[in-house]
A and B are shown apart, each in its own frame.
Chain A
Amino acid sequence: MTQNRSQDREHRAIEVSERVADVPPSGIRRYFELAEEVEDIISLGVGEPDFSAPWAIREAAIASLERGATSYTTNRGLRSLREAIETYVHRRFDLGYSAENEVLVTTGASEAVDLAIRTLVDPDDVVAVVEPTYLSYRPIGRLTGAEVIGVPTAVEDDFRVTPERLAGAGADEADVLVMCYPNNPTGAVMQIDALRRVGTFAREHDLTIISDEIYAELSYEDDHVSIASLPGMRERTVVINGFSKAFAMTGLRLGYALGPAHVIDAMNRIHQYTMLSSPTTAQHAALEGLRSCLDEVGSMRQSYDRRRKFVLARLAELGIDCFEAKGAFYVFPRCPWPDEERFVESLLEEEQVAVVPGHVFGESGDGHLRVSYATSLEQLREAMSRLERFLAE
């Protein structure tokens, strides 16, 4: 009792900053709490691979520990890892970044997003975020004191961003544009022509682009194209990527940023004080991933692709309208009921299947559901049967 009361008093004594108090709670928190209560749940609400990291990656992590590699690394990350990243992004995405000064190894892509936004954005700036969107960009943008505007995309355009949508949202006045393709939550991808048009818009209106390409390896019909590989775009883009999705390494927390030397240098100026260096064990693990696990990345991609096709086919059979998502591990069907929230809650309650309502990813996600297929085919099959039964009732 006494303790509780003194804790309460402490709460009142310490005031959190206005900027943090202004950050709204994460929109998915509520659904997480609901789902945690449910037994025998099949969750299609998961934003990370169901695979564990390839064995060779785990062995490399263990071996580095056995060698005693438990010290800090250089701020920018192990030289050998940066060189491996340089080679990998060059071969895979035709991107030219020097390990010397244009690559920064970060603690997850999450840190790279934070550093990029803080490095590029001033308090009076405008940050445009393509929506529906991964949940981090908006709050981090707000923390800098900038104004954040959403650029809605729509199913009619397969959730690709277009110059018309950008102009319509007022992004011509923005300083920084944050986009993510292949996209979480829609599974949308952007091909070269669509990217060119966005690039032209960015050059005309002097926008800097933060391109979160963490799902780059998970593009199923065509190889991923990075907007930074287009002529004239490298100098106005920061590319973010990482090991979480493609290498199934979420818990090891490793990502990286690529950009012009002076931008990476500026990002490193924050990183050196806030992070010092990214986890050393994870850096050794990631290096092994780039050296020897690209085949396994390919077989995981193939596995996701089969599940993607399976889920799209099942949704079509159930009469649920869904555009053909071609990337990441999400599909984004239209919600069969007008009230998305009620649908999600009833489905969870009655059939123990969890999905996430589209509106939490931005207004333009309204009326949709994020369905993750980072789950075994057996589970997906069962989830779709439960969904079928639910709809029949």
Chain B
Amino acid sequence: MEPREEVLALLAENARYTLEDIARMTDLTAAEAEALIAELEDEGVIAGYQAVVNWRVADRERARAEVELNVTLDRETSYDDIARRIAGFPEVKTLQLVSGNYDFLARVEAGSTREISRFVSERIAPVPEITQTVTHFVMDTYKEQGIQMNGGGDEDDRLSISP
């Protein structure tokens, strides 16, 4: 693997690897790894870093919904234009244009399901190009960013010493 790819793969796996750890796992020095990461950040290849939090365990569970959005386009308005209007709301955590029965899929987070309902009906639905919304409240999360939640995952039942 190229050093760039390797550093990206490592950070995508665990953004908290230290520069020293990255250096140990690659053929780079810590200083080289640091420079490469700065470069990746500057170029926007690395868009940010976040922890994968299991809010339920933290006892700070927030309400979440996956919202399907149907839109109509006209000569002046593109998907990008509509996406920009929706993505601007902080309640919208992810927004994707998708194939299939609807156009956008938005993940929305707020303090309660009521707040989400209000947000969708007062902020999203009134956008003129939006013709329909379908809101799916999330009831439980089993896997997030490749990490299993709520007791998922494999047990380690190995003997402490084996040949």
Contacts from A to B (Cβ < 8 Å): 26, 28, 31-32, 35-36, 38, 41, 43, 45-48, 50-52, 134-136, 184, 302, 306-307, 309-310, 313-314, 354, 356, 377, 381
Contact = CB atoms under 8 A, between A and B. Distances in A.
Contacts of B24: 309-310, 313-314
Contacts of B23: 313
Counting contact residues on chain B (CB < 8 A from A), the size range is 10 to 19
A46 B161 CA distance: 5
B47 to A, nearest CB: 23
A32 B159 CA distance: 8
B21 A381 contact: yes
A310 B21 contact: yes
A32 B26 contact: no
A301 to B, nearest CB: 12
A121 to B, nearest CB: 21
Contacts of B156: 50
B46 to A, nearest CB: 19
B163 A26 contact: yes
Contacts of B9: 302
Contacts of A184: 163
A43 B160 contact: yes
A309 B25 contact: yes
Contacts of B154: 51-52
A356 B21 CA distance: 25
B25 A35 contact: no
Interface centre among B10, B24, B156, B158 (most CB of A within 10 A): B24
A126 to B, nearest CB: 24
B162 interface: yes
B25 A45 contact: no
A242 to B, nearest CB: 14
A52 B9 CA distance: 22
Contacts of B162: 28, 32, 45-48
Interface in B1-43: 9-10, 14, 21, 23-26
Contacts of A377: 14, 21
A45 B21 contact: no
Nearest to B1: A302
B161 A35 contact: yes
Chain A interface main SS type: mixed
Given A135-B163, A306-B25, 18 more contacts: A26-B163, A28-B162, A28-B163, A35-B161, A41-B160, A43-B161, A45-B162, A46-B158, A46-B160, A46-B161, A47-B163, A302-B9, A306-B10, A307-B25, A309-B24, A310-B21, A313-B24, A314-B24
A309 B1 CA distance: 14
Given A310-B21, A314-B24, A46 B10 contact: no
A316 B1 CA distance: 24
A356 B161 contact: yes
Interface string B132-163: 00000000000000000000001010111111
Nearest 10 CB-CB pairings of A with B: A313-B24, A52-B154, A45-B161, A32-B161, A35-B160, A47-B162, A306-B25, A43-B160, A310-B24, A135-B163
Contacts of A47: 162-163
Contacts of A313: 23-25
A28 B158 CA distance: 15
Nearest to A361: B163
A24 B25 CA distance: 40
Contact of B163 (A43, A50, A134): A134
B158 to A, nearest CB: 6
Contacts of A43: 160-161
A35 B14 CA distance: 30
A314 B24 CA distance: 7
A314 B156 CA distance: 25
Nearest to A27: B163
8 contacts: A32-B160, A35-B160, A48-B162, A50-B158, A52-B154, A135-B163, A302-B9, A313-B23
Contacts of A48: 158, 162
Contact of A31 (B14, B25, B161): B161
A313 B30 CA distance: 12
Contacts of A356: 161
Contacts of A381: 21
Given A52-B154, A306-B10, A310-B21, A45 B26 contact: no
